[in-house]
Chain A
């Protein structure tokens, strides 16, 4: 029986001193910034620290840890720090921001009505996916309102896809109106039919 019990190996990465976290977060090595980002929420000044760090950080995994820290804080203020990254030219950053907001539905919900009215159609489109993590009634109400006023068929399609999951019979009227507003968009007609079938199947 050659396997033998080893004594517990000591942790190889001792936790940093809290006094150094702020310094490490901005000026440390990649590993130190990663570790500091994961511990920053312990500090009272976490939000301004993470805000600054996110604006400077270029390493993807450290950015991921900063987004997670902000999601863990779960406040309207920490969600507000993430939102500008929905406008990033970098698709990876937009996705990371979207994933982080989806991980903090209560906090993201506060900003959602504004995001769904954003001047940028890409932001409105991403905001539809944030709506998916809200309670069904809230998501459906917001998306139905969006569909009623939305002029961009791609945004409508994103909203309709979510509505196919969250919607109720009350959503069918809005879907029908949307179909008549965009008769020249066959993909939208298909999306609306799918959503109506799923919502109205019983």
Chain B
């Protein structure tokens, strides 16, 4: 099959159903052209002779093809203030609820996992400094974790290029970064010291447990890649890592309801998030 061919409507539906069941991603007919191009790219890349051959290869989970296909559909690039509606929800709703049971000076713990090269945990820090009026009233501990120690080293170094900063205004860049040259900026030392980084595999309880419990966890666009068993274990680990009443934010294509019944769905004006219940449910 070459990249000039098309897939049929039934083939599209067959693949869309599979992807929904496997990942929760929803592709309707309106996205058909977008999806079709990427499927054909993967068919060509895997040297499959037909859609049927590719679909069998995809279902066999050979060579992480599901992961490759998801990557073809998703924006893998990480940058500051990505999905900032969740950051707005954090400052306007989630923290407001979390501090009702806290006193000024208490600790608020926020976990970004996986944090990749640090854009998300630093974004949380900057967002709170800029948008949360009570930021000075509490001790805020931000932890960024990832399975990959190389990205953690880069995160701690805090050096970013233009594309990573594309959503930040010049004023914010001026306030929180210093330029190294025309193409690179480094997070200010004080801000770098405000985020602690640690290596964690989300499906290893012995690695997640030592991180302690958090008020809010950002766990975006990673569960989508896990198989059923790994997702169950990760969801239970995340539950353990949340304080009762604590919140978890997933990527916009993800739904915890599909993964685990442990959490409550919370709908806010800016985002849907999930909460560890305050009281145990029978």
Contact = CB atoms under 8 A, between A and B. Distances in A.
A49 B248 CA distance: 32
A147 B185 CA distance: 63
A8 B59 contact: no
A108 to B, nearest CB: 11
Contact of A64 (B13, B21, B142, B236): B236
A165 B56 CA distance: 9
Contacts of A65: 236
A60 B262 CA distance: 8
B67 to A, nearest CB: 17
Interface residues on A, range: 35 or more
A2 B228 contact: no
Interface residues of B, number: 55
Interface string B240-281: 100000000000000000001110000000000000000011
A157 to B, nearest CB: 15
B191 A1 contact: yes
B56 A59 contact: no
A72 B188 CA distance: 44
Given A3-B194, A6-B107, A13-B213, A68 B14 contact: no
B50 A202 contact: yes
Contacts of A119: none
B212 interface: yes
Contact of B188 (A1, A4, A60, A166): A1
Contacts of A100: 232
Nearest to A15: B209
Interface in A179-202: 197-198, 201-202
A61 B229 contact: no
6 contacts: A8-B196, A11-B213, A58-B282, A99-B228, A104-B229, A164-B17
B228 A103 contact: yes
A135 interface: yes
Contacts of A74: 229
A27 B54 CA distance: 51
Nearest to A129: B21
Contacts of A68: 232-233, 236
A51 interface: no
B94 to A, nearest CB: 17
A149 interface: no
Interface stretch (B25-33, B83-91, B128-136): B128-136
Most buried by B among A6, A38, A59, A96: A6
Given A100-B232, A165-B17, A202-B50, 16 more contacts: A2-B136, A5-B195, A6-B139, A9-B141, A11-B210, A11-B212, A11-B213, A12-B212, A13-B213, A38-B236, A60-B261, A72-B233, A74-B229, A133-B228, A201-B8, A201-B9
